[in-house]
Structure 1
Amino acid sequence: MKTNFKTIVISDVHLGTKGSKAKEVARFLKQYTCENLILNGDIIDGWQLRKSGSWKRKHTRFFNRMLKMIEKDHTKVYYLRGNHDDFLDQILPLQIGNLSIQADMIYESCGKKFFITHGDIFDSVTTNLRWIAYLGDVGYTFLLWLNRLVNYHRRKRGMPYFSLSQYVKGKVKTAVAYVDQYEEELSKMAKSKGCDGIICGHIHKAENRTIDGITYLNSGDWVETMSALAEDHEGNWQLIFYNEIDFKVKPLTEETSSEPIPELKLVAFNKFDGDFKLPNFF
């Protein structure tokens, strides 16, 4: 028996790129059932597909898993537009059975309201200076390439996964300041809409915290962090990290299904002080 959640939120899968962890996210979704699956933007990376990206069979399997959830579990799927899958602007809003494609949404659960958006609309660089955003995308793509090389050698030495791009972003003061401002502005937006919380993605930084009385939730990504947000049937939210899941654990039985779900480690990348020095990767 699989663990059942009320809602699961994932974002920033970036299907069509080499960095996308398509196999991992499909395997993750096999572990759980849910009433609502919210795909919060940048699921397909149209920017990279228009340039040098390629569509693989593993990318199609992600959507096969999604369709099985709709068919077998009657899961309602909400695909929200992100900046990398902005091609959806041509068709949204669109409703096909249990699949809804839209720009953003208000989610109500257990007496609370959440504004759910990918988050790029609040990024003035992405919205108003598209050429700078593309330039930043090139730099990020290079970091992901270098990240694969670093972790290839780390795996050969039995060392754990290390996110180079998250480390770099954590060391660059302007990036840290941007993340702080991003989180605060999104929280203000949620409050202005009369919501109790905000659920977003976009910046690839998983988070679950309170900002000025507003619950700020960021689902992270499936390029580096490999994380998702999950809500239980009592309205409690938690971050689930793929690398912390024990896939060898036997499925829940009638005897164990009533046991509480163990508390999963909440991870937020720390802010670094001092001079920028690369760690010993190998």
Structure 2
Amino acid sequence: MTEATETKHFRTLFISDMHLGSKAARTDFLLDFLRHHEADTIYLVGDVVDGWRLKRNWYWPQGCNDVVQKLLRKARKGTRIIYIPGNHDEFLRAFPGVHFGGIEVAERMIHEAADGKKYLVLHGDEFDVVVRNIRLLAYLGDWAYDAAIAINVVLAAVRRRLKLPYWSFSAWAKLQVKQAVNFIGEFQKVVAEEARRNQVDGVICGHIHHAVIEDIEGIRYINTGDWVESCTAIVEHMDGTFELICWQSIGQTAEVMTLPAPAAKPVGDMQAA
């Protein structure tokens, strides 16, 4: 753990799965992270707003407003912000190329890093068979996930009182279930294959709330994680190095993985970044 008393500036910042509108969203951690990190370009890699939960029960506390206002303020100050919708905010997929307060919407992008390597950037839900083909089962799984997150909330409160860093019960439990581990592995392989089909060096995605940087058969696979369980983000340094950052508690950060990596143009009919 290292103190984060000053703002750090990066070439690119990738964040996904904030789930604003969900009671599980860690808006306090996310806002603190955004205060301490600036970037030339920020990618919001899907599930920023949790439309599924907002449809069931409207919940939008001040913390959600604060995060949105912080992002809009960064856009006004010159940061390029690209919003790639996910399955929970899929309503925005009807607005590719549209700008909202300086934030541009795109279905997917090709990001070219400082070292010239190219990355496909997408949310990843299109490679989740359950979400794509069995929507009812996906909703049922979402409700079960809510229960695990509720346990998270209680544990987080206890750990705060004990002055312990944030720890996710739901993330730990997920990795104890063989089927979940198998799903993560298969998802990573399929997404990496999509990057290979697009003739790029790697892929940056979210969706499964499992942050990691690794190589899969010659393709760099990067998952941004989430701001519900792990509170993680991916940053690209000015030299093209990618780093996975875990924001463990307010005002502090743990750097958990650093690997060399490869600015952005769209795939197909998408605009250049």
- Tell me which interval the TM-score lies in, with the shorter structure as reference length: 0.7 to 0.9
Structure 1 residues 157 and 70: alpha-carbon distance in aligned structure 2, compared to 1, 3 A threshold: closer
Other-structure match for 2:264: none
Amino acid at match of 2:49: I
Consecutive unaligned residues in structure 1, runs of 5 or more:
249-262, 268-282
Q: Does 2:116 correspond to 1:103?
A: no
Report the Cα offset of residue 52 of structure 1. 2.0
1:36 equivalent to 2:27? Answer no
Is the contact made by 1:4 and 1:34 (CA closer than 8 Å) also made in structure 2? Answer: yes
Counterpart pick for 2:236 among 231, 236, 252: 231
Highest Rg: 1 or 2? 1
- 1:1-282 alignment, distance < 5 Å: 2-72=7-77, 74-95=78-99, 98-109=102-113, 110-243=115-248, 246-247=251-252, 264-266=255-257
Unaligned runs of 5+ in 2: 1-5, 259-273
User: Could you give the per-residue CA deviations for residues 221-262 of structure 1, whole angstroms, max 9, x where no partner exists?
Assistant: 0011001000011110001111178559xxxxxxxxxxxxxx
Q: Give the match's secondary structure for 1:61.
A: helix
State whether residues 174 and 180 of structure 2, in contact with CA within 8 Å, keep that contact through their aligned partners in structure 1: yes
The alpha-carbon distance between structure 1 residues 215 and 134, as it changes in their structure 2 partners (threshold 3 A), is same
Query: Deviation of residue 63 (structure 1)?
Result: 1.3
Letter in 1 for 2:68: F
Matched letter for residue 265 of structure 1: V
| Higher normalized strand content (fraction of residues) | 2
On the 8 A contact 1:26/1:61 being kept in 2, the answer is: yes
Does the aligned pair in 2 maintain the 1:75–1:98 contact within 8 Å? no
Contact 2:29–2:249 (CA<8 Å) still a contact in 1?
A: no
How far, CA to CA, are the matches of 2:167 and 2:27 in structure 1?
A: 19
Q: Which is worse superposed, 225-234 or 87-96?
A: 87-96
Which residue identity lines up with residue 104 of structure 2 in the other structure?
A: S
Q: 1:169 to 1:96 in 2, by over 3 A?
A: closer
**Structure 1 residues 66 and 139 mapped into 2: Cα distance closer, same or farther (>3 Å)?**
same
Matched residue pairs, number?
A: 252
What percent identity do the matched residue pairs reach? 35
Q: CA deviation at 1:136?
A: 0.3
**Given the two structures, how large is their TM-score scaled by the length of structure 1?**
0.84
Deviation per CA, 1:120-175: give whole Å up to 9, x if none.
00001101110000000000011101121233233334444331111211111000
Residues 29 and 250 in structure 2, CA contact (< 8 A), matched pair in contact too: no
Q: Quick one: which amino acid aligns to residue 48 of structure 1? A: R
Q: Is the 8 A contact 1:83 1:120 kept in 2?
A: yes
**Distance apart, 1:93 and its partner CA:** 3.3
Q: CA RMSD in A?
A: 2.0
Change (3 A) 1:229 1:165: same
| Residue 4 (structure 1) shift | 1.2
- Which whole-Å CA distance do the structure 2 matches of 1:160 and 1:49 have between them? 29
